Each structure stands twice: as structure tokens, then as C-alpha cells.
Amino acid sequence: MTVAAYTPPMRLVIAGEMTDIDLTVIQGMWSVEQYLRLTDHTNRLIEYSDGWIEILPMPTERHQAILECLFLFFRAYADSHGGKVRFAPLRLLVRDGKFREPDILLLRDARDPRRQDRFWCGADLVAEVVSEDDPERDTQIKRIDYAEAGIPEYWIVNPLDETVTVLTLSAESYSEYGVFRRGDEARSKLLDGFTVRVDAIFDAQ
């Protein structure tokens, strides 16, 4: 699937000379190794799909507050159950030729061989905080991507309507395990006993 990717102009400095390089002219031609080398040298979130790169917008302060809250809840669970959780930026291999950078990645076993240094080759659970610039990226496109990757559970945390949607993988697509709102406790099907108050997520500061 070819996607339209946002690639703002980038500058390359060569021997003190400032040269403008418009990356749109090479869209569709990026190799995996070129993508990996590019993302090795930046903290910007950049995703890759079949030769195309997409530079994601800088997260807002509220986005980061929500992400921090979620990470601390997931980390407490992972630490007490022998798992490992990480937060963006960290590349996730969806399949050959496709990488995403989920806001949160979790493995139930910290010794899982999919946990590699340069990027993870899979995850048991991922979570995304929906971005205002393009909600469909997290609610629809990545829903397809993470199902393709075989990730058993996907949390969509949406500040726009203050919902937490927990999706579970069945066959090759996701189904809704629950849509949780203020006053609810969002819960995981995969992680036994894991719950988090929705109010705590969206009141994070």
C-alpha cells in the first residue's frame, strides 16, 4: 500500500555550505538501511513504508503528559511481571519494508528475542495517543498496520473525545474489547489484572 507521506524540506550542511534538499523527489526510493541510518541520528519520529518516509509532527505537552501517565502504569505492571515496556522513539518492525514508532511498546517477557537494540521485531501490546493533526493515522491506518504485525492488543488513547479503545487481535484483524470513558477503568484482556482509570489518563499534567 502506498501512502502519501509528509516530508518537510530538510537541510544538509556540507563544508559550511547550506544546501536545500527537497526529500519529496526521492519519496518511494528510500531503502530500509537508509531509513535506519536516518533515524539513528535524530529524535524525530519518522516512519517508513515501502520506500516512503513520513515525518511525524512534534508531540504537544498534553500528548506527552498522557504518554507519561500511561507509561508509568504499564511500567509498574511490566516490572512486577517480568516484562519490558518502552516509549517512543523506538522503531517497531511491522513487516519487511515497514516500520512504525508506537508511543508505547510492551513485551510480557523481558527476555523475548524480539526485543532488539536497534528496533523491536514485534510486541505483545502497543499504544498510541491520538494526534490532532491526523486522527485517522492512529485510529484507522495503524489499526491495520499493527494487526498486520500480529500484535495481540492495541490501545488507542484519544484525547479528542477522551476515550480509551482497547482492541484485541482475532485472526488477522482487531475487534473492540472495550471503549472506556471518564468514570471507567480501562482494562486489558492480554495483561491479567491490568486496569487504569480513564480520569487519571486524561487529567495527567
pLDDT per residue over 79-101, tens digit each? 999 999 999 999 999 999 999 99
State whether 26 and 65 are in the same domain: no
Domain contains 20: yes
* Residue 24 counted as domain residue: yes
Whether residue 87 sits in one domain with residue 27: no
| Total count of domains within the chain | 2
SS3 readout for 105-140: EEECCCCCCCCCCCCECCCCEEEEECCCCCHHHHHH
110-125: per-residue pLDDT in tens? Answer: 999 999 999 999 999 9
The residue range of the domain holding 115 is 61-202
pLDDT grade, residue 3 (50/70/90)?
A: very low
**Are 66 and 125 within one domain?**
yes
Residue 75 lies in a domain: yes
36 and 68, same domain (yes or no): no
End of a domain among 38, 55, 72? 55
For residue 154, the SS3 value is strand
Average per-residue pLDDT in the chain?
Answer: 91
| Ramachandran class of 183: left when φ > 0, alpha when ψ lies in -120 to 50, beta otherwise | left
Residue 1 is assigned to a structural domain of this protein: no
pTM above 0.75, yes or no: yes
Verify cis geometry, omega within 30 degrees of 0, for the bond prior to 89.
yes
Is 22 contained in some domain? Answer: yes
